[in-house]
C-alpha cells in the first residue's frame, strides 16, 4: 500500500515544500492543507500556534496520512511536540534538517516573528556549529504581501531592504529562508543581497530525509531527479484550504505552473475560534 504524505502550512508557502517532495517522490500521493482562514500564523502567540497545529494535525490524521511533513516553520518551531503527539504517524520537520546544509559561521535567518523569537534556527545551527554567528530576523510583512500576490512590488522591496539590513551589517554569507513562503522571494532577495550570499531553503534537506524515512516504513519511493514527472505528480496531489479555494488556486498558479483544483474543508474551529 502506498502511504499518503500529509503536509500543512498556513497558506501558499508549503507549496514550495510540496513541489520538492513531488520532484523527488513523484509516485507518492500527497494531501496538502493550507489553513488560509487563519493565515498568517507567524504573528500569533505560541498558544494559538500550538492550538491550531493540534487541530490541523488531527484533521490530517483523520484523512489517513501515513507520514506528516511540517511544511510550516512556525508550527515546526512552536509546536513540533504537539504535532508528534497528535499525528500518530512519523513527523518530519524542516528546522532540524538545516544544520546538515550549513557550511558557514556567519548565518542570517529570515523567518516569521514567532519563529525568529523562538530561537529554533539558532539552536539547530549551534547544535553542529556552536561558534557560528546566527542572526534571526522576524519579517512580519512578508507573508501577508506574498499571499496578496506581491513578488517585486515597492512595498515588498521596502520591507525586504529593512529585514536584510541587520544581515548586511553583520556581513553574513549565508541566509536561511526560514519560512516556507520565502522561496517565492528568491529572485528579489538574490537581487538585493550581495553576490555570493548563499540562500538556503531547508525544505531541500527535509525532502531528502523523507526518502530514508519512507524506506524505513517499507515504502520504496522511486526517486525522480530529472523533473519529467513534476507536473503529473503535482496534479495528483489533493489540495485543501480552510479559506477561499479560488484565491488559493490563483496564488498557487505561478508557483506550480498550472491552476490546481482546490477543495474547501471545514476543520472544527476555523469558523472563528482564533
Ligand atoms: N509558511 C509558514 C512558515 O514557514 C507560516 C507563515 C505564516 O503564516 O506566518 O513559517
Residues 197 and 106 in one domain: yes
pLDDT tens-digit map of 153-206: 999 999 999 999 999 999 999 999 999 999 999 999 999 999 999 999 999 999
Say which CATH number the domain at 180 has. Answer: 3.40.50.1860
Q: How many domains does the chain have?
A: 2
Whether residue 129 has pLDDT greater than 80: yes
Q: How far is CA 106 from CA 131, 134, 170, 189, 267, in A?
A: 9, 6, 8, 17, 42
pLDDT of residue 99: 83
Whether residue 233 has pLDDT greater than 70: no
pLDDT of residue 257: 83
Residues 193 and 232 in one domain: no
Task: Give the torsion sign (CA, 148, 143, 243, 26).
Answer: positive
17: Cβ below 6 Å to ligand 1?
Answer: no
DSSP class of residue 261 equals -
Across the range 84-106, mean pLDDT stands at: 94
Q: Read off the pLDDT band of 271 (50, 70, 90).
A: very low
Question: Which of residues 202, 219, 239 is at a domain's end?
Answer: 202
Percent of the chain with pLDDT over 90: 83
pLDDT of residue 178: 98
143: Cβ below 6 Å to ligand 1?
Answer: yes
Show the cell assigned to 220.
520504496
Name the pTM for this structure: 0.93
Percent of the chain with pLDDT over 70: 92
Q: Is residue 85 part of a domain?
A: yes
Across the range 109-136, mean pLDDT stands at: 97
Instruction: Locate the ligand 1 atom nearest the alpha carbon of residue 43 and give its number.
Output: 9
pLDDT tens-digit map of 240-258: 999 999 999 999 987 788 8
Question: 53 near 75, Cβ under 8 Å?
Answer: yes
DSSP class of residue 137 equals E
Q: What's the domain range around 9?
A: 5-93+204-264
Ligand 1 centre and the CA of 150: distance in Å? Answer: 16
Show the cell assigned to 261.
483544483
Amino acid at each position: 500500500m502506498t502511504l499518503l504524505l500529509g503536509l500543512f502550512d498556513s497558506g501558499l508557502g508549503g507549496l514550495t515544500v510540496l513541489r520538492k517532495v513531488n520532484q523527488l517522490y513523484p509516485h507518492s500521493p500527497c494531501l496538502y492543507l493550507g489553513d488560509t482562514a487563519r493565515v498568517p500564523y507567524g504573528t500569533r502567540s505560541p498558544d494559538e500556534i500550538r492550538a491550531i497545529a493540534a487541530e490541523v494535525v488531527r484533521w490530517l490524521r483523520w484523512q489517513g496520512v501515513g507520514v506528516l511533513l511540517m511544511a510550516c516553520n512556525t508550527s515546526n518551531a512552536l509546536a513540533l511536540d504537539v504535532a508528534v503527539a497528535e499525528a500518530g504517524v512519523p513527523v518530519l520537520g524542516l528546522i532540524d534538517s538545516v544544520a546538515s546544509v550549513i557550511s558557514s559561521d556567519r548565518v542570517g535567518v529570515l523567518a516569521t516573528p514567532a519563529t525568529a523569537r523562538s530561537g529554533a534556527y539558532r539552536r539547530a545551527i549551534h547544535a553542529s556549529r556552536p561558534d557560528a554567528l546566527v542572526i534571526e530576523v522576524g519579517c512580519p510583512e512578508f507573508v501577508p504581501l506574498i499571499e496578496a500576490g506581491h513578488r517585486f512590488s515597492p512595498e515588498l522591496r521596502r520591507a525586504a531592504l529593512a529585514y536584510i539590513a541587520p544581515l548586511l551589517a553583520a556581513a553574513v554569507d549565508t541566509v536561511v529562508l526560514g519560512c516556507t513562503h520565502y522561496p517565492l522571494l528568491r529572485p528579489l532577495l538574490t537581487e538585493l543581497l550581495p553576490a555570493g550570499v548563499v540562500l538556503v531553503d531547508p525544505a531541500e534537506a527535509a525532502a531528502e530525509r523523507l526518502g530514508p524515512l519512507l524506506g524505513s516504513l517499507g515504502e520504496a519511493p522511486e526517486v525522480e531527479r530529472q523533473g519529467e514527472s513534476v507536473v503529473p505528480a503535482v496534479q495528483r496531489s489533493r489540495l485543501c484550504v480552510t479559506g477561499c479555494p479560488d484565491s488559493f488556486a490563483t496564488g498557487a498558479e505561478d508557483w506550480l505552473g498550472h491552476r490546481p483544483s482546490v477543495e474547501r474543508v471545514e476543520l472544527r474551529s476555523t469558523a472563528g475560534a482564533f
